[in-house]
Amino acid sequence: MESNYHDRIPNNVDLGSNRTLQRALEHWQPEFLNWWHGLGPSDFNAAEVYLRTAISVDTKGWATFGYVKMPDYRWGIFLAEPETDRKIGFGDNFGQAAWQQVPGEHRSTLRRLIVTQGDTEPASVEQQRLLGHTAPSLYDLRNLFQVNVEEGRHLWAMVYLLHAYFGRDGREEAEELLERHSGDADKPRILSTFNEPISDWLSFYMFTYFTDRDGKFQLKSLAESSFDPLSRTCRFMLTEEAHHMFVGDTGIGRVIKRTIEVMKEFGTDDPVAMRKAGAIDLPTIQRYLNFWFSSSLDLFGGDSSSNAASYFANGLKGRPDEERYEDHLAAEQAHTLELPDGKGGVRSEQIPMRNAMNEVVRESYVRDCEKGLGRWNKLLEDSGYPQRMFLPSPRFRRTVGSWANIPTDLNGKPISAEEFAARQTEWLPTEGDRAYVRSLMKGVFERGKMAGWIAPPERGINTKPIDFEYVLLH
C-alpha cells in the first residue's frame, strides 16, 4: 500500500483520490493545531525533540527518528495493511466477509465506540500538558513528548474514520473531540479517568502503565471488529501504544530502583527517612498504584453488560486475540461473577458469557498488569528486601459495575463505610503524599543528569546513549 508522506496530511489511504474527504480533513487540520497550541504541551513548542514519526506502516517506515519541533510533527493517517478476504472472527456473523463500509443498523453504535476511543487520545495530552516543566531528565522529557504527539496521531486516526465513514454526523463528532476538555466543568471528557489531573511524574508513569494499558486492551478489542477500517486503524495504533506502556513500566521500575538504593544507603525503609533523603517511600508508590489501577479498571465498563453482549453478537467489538479462543460464538457458555451479596459478603453468579465480555477483557488486563509487578518485585528480591508491590483486588474502590461504591479492603473483603473512611489514608494517596511528590517535581534539563528520586534508564532511545541530548532546548 502506498504511503503519501509528502501530502499535506501524510497518509496511506490514498487520500488524494477523494477530494471531498481530503478537503474536509484539511479543514480540520488547523483546528487540531489550534487545539495543540492551546491545550497541548505548555511551552517547549520551539524545542527540537528527538521523536519517532510514522511515515509508513512497514518495518522501515513506522519508526523514523529525528529532531522535530512538536508543532511540525507530521501527524498522519496510517492503517495497517489490509488482510485479503478478511472474515468476521466472532459473534453471530462469524465467517462472513468483513465490512468495508458501515452497515446502517450499526452506524450509531460504531460511531459511539469510535468517539469514546477518540476522546481519550487528546484527553491524555491535556492531562499531561504541564508535565514538561518538571521532567526528571531530557530522556523523560522526550518520552513524554513522544507519547503526546502519538496520542495526537491516534486522535487523527479516529477523526479519519469519522470523516470517511460517518458523513456529517462524523464531522460534527470530530469537531466535538476538540471542544470537550479534560477536567472541564461544562464539557468534560467522556470517561472519568481522563478528567483526573496528572500533575506529577509518578502519576504519569502510573497512567502510562495502567491507563494506556486499558487503551491497549480496548484497541485489541476493536482490532477484532468486523468493520475492517476500524480494525486496521487500531492494529497500527497498537504498535505505537507499546512504547507508552514501556514508559510507565520502566518509569515505575526506576522510581523503585532509586528508593531501594536509598534504603540501602541509610539502612532503613522508614518513609520519613526516605523522604528526608529525597526518595519516594514504597508505601506511597503502592498508594499511587492502588489509585490508578482501580481507576483504570472502571474503564472496561460493567461486569454484566447487555451492551457488551450486543457488541459481541453483532461483531462490533471482540475479545483481545480472539483467535486464541475455541468458541467464537460464545453463545452457550457462561461466566462466573463474584458479586456483593448485600449482607457484607460475596456470592457467585453465572451469567451468559456474552454479557460478561467486559469482565473477560478486564481479567486479561489484570493478568497483563501483573507482569510489571513481577519485574518491580524482582528488584526488591534481588536486593534482599522482603517488601513486595501488589495489585489490589479488582473490587477495591470501584465506581463502575457490581462493586461500585461497595467499600472493601485491598483484598476485596467488604467492610463498613466507616472502616473504609478510616483506612483510606493507608490505601490511597493522601494530600500529604501528593504534596511531598509534588515537592520533588523540579525540571532537570542538563544533558545526562537525572532527578534524585528516580534511577537512570537501562538504555537510551533508538540505541542512543542515555546522556544523548534528547531535547534541544536552545
Which residues does 80 contact at the CB level (< 8 Å), separation at least 6? Answer: 57, 232, 233, 235, 236
Residue nearer to Fe ion on the CB measure, 99 or 145: 145
Span from 125-133, 153-161, 263-271, 276-284 in contact with Fe ion (CB under 5 A): 153-161
Neighbours of 435 (CB within 10 A): 10
Size of the site for Fe ion (CB under 5 A): 6
Q: How far is the CB of 216 from Fe ion (least distance, A)?
A: 8
Of 89-97, 208-216, 305-313, 447-455, which part binds Fe ion (CB under 5 A)?
A: 208-216
Helices 282-297 and 357-382 cross at an angle (nearest 10°) of 170
Is residue 314 within 8 Å of residue 92, measured between CB atoms? yes
- C-beta of residue 375 within 8 angstroms of C-beta of residue 381: no
φ/ψ of residue 8, rounded to 5: -55, -40
Q: How far is the CB of 134 from Fe ion (least distance, A)?
A: 20
* Region of 59-67, 81-89, 211-219, 340-348 interacting with Fe ion (CB under 5 A): 211-219
Min dist. Cβ of residue 59 to Fe ion (A): 21
> Are the C-beta atoms of residues 229 and 79 closer than 8 Å to each other?
yes
Distances (CA, A) of 102 to 87, 110, 231: 15, 8, 12
Which listed range, 57-65, 244-252, 296-304, 440-448, lies at the site for Fe ion (CB under 5 A)? 244-252
In the complex with Fe ion, the residue whose CB is nearer, 126 or 212, is: 212
Contact region with Fe ion (CB under 5 A), list: 19-27, 145-153, 381-389, 424-432: 145-153
Residue 155 CB, nearest distance to Fe ion (Å)?
A: 8
CB of 221 closer than 8 Å to CB of 317: yes
Return the C-alpha cell found at 27: 479543514
Does position 216 interact with Fe ion (CB under 5 A)? The reply is: no
Binding map of Fe ion across residues 404-443, x = CB under 5 A, - = no contact: ----------------------------------------
Among 106, 111, 142, 154, binds Fe ion (CB under 5 A): 154
d(CA 398, CA 410): 12
DSSP classification of residue 279: -
CB of 147 vs Fe ion, minimal distance in Å: 6
* Closer Cβ to Fe ion, 170 or 215, answer by number: 215
> Within 13 Å, how many C-alpha atoms sit on residue 112's CB side?
9
Which SS3 state, helix, strand or coil, does residue 91 take? Answer: coil
**Rg, C-alpha atoms of the chain:** 23
For residue 241, the minimal CB distance to Fe ion (Å) is: 5
397 is an interface residue for Fe ion by CB under 5 A: no
Q: Does 212 bind Fe ion (CB under 5 A)?
A: yes
- Interacting positions 101-140 with Fe ion (CB under 5 A): 121
Residue nearer to Fe ion on the CB measure, 245 or 280: 245
CA nearest 40: which of 116, 133, 127, 134? Answer: 127
Least distance in angstroms from the C-beta of 364 to Fe ion: 18
Closest CB 92 distance from Fe ion, rounded Å: 30
Q: Which is nearer to Fe ion, 132 or 392 (CB)?
A: 132
Angle at 211 between CA 37 and CA 122, to 5 degrees: 20
Shortest distance (Å) from residue 43 CB to Fe ion = 22
Pick 151 or 359: Cβ nearer Fe ion:
151
Q: How many CB atoms lie within 10 A of CB 273?
A: 15
For residue 414 the three cell numbers come to: 467488604
**Helices H / strands E in the chain, number of each:** 13, 5
- List the Cα angle 385/263/292 in 5-degree steps: 75
Q: Which residue carries 534508564 as its cell?
A: 457
Q: Which of 230, 79, 238 is nearest to 166 (CA)?
A: 230
Would you count residue 52 as binding Fe ion (CB under 5 A)?
A: no
Give the range of 17-25, 89-97, 152-160, 399-407 binding Fe ion by CB under 5 A. Answer: 152-160
Smallest distance from Fe ion to CB 123, Å: 10
Segment contacting Fe ion by CB under 5 A, of 64-72, 146-154, 323-331, 463-471: 146-154
Stretch that binds Fe ion, among 70-78, 210-218, 356-364, 377-385 (CB under 5 A): 210-218
Which member of 216, 244, 258, 317 binds Fe ion (CB under 5 A)? 244
In the block, cell 466477509 appears at 97
| Chain positions contacting Fe ion, by CB under 5 A | 121, 151, 154, 212, 241, 244
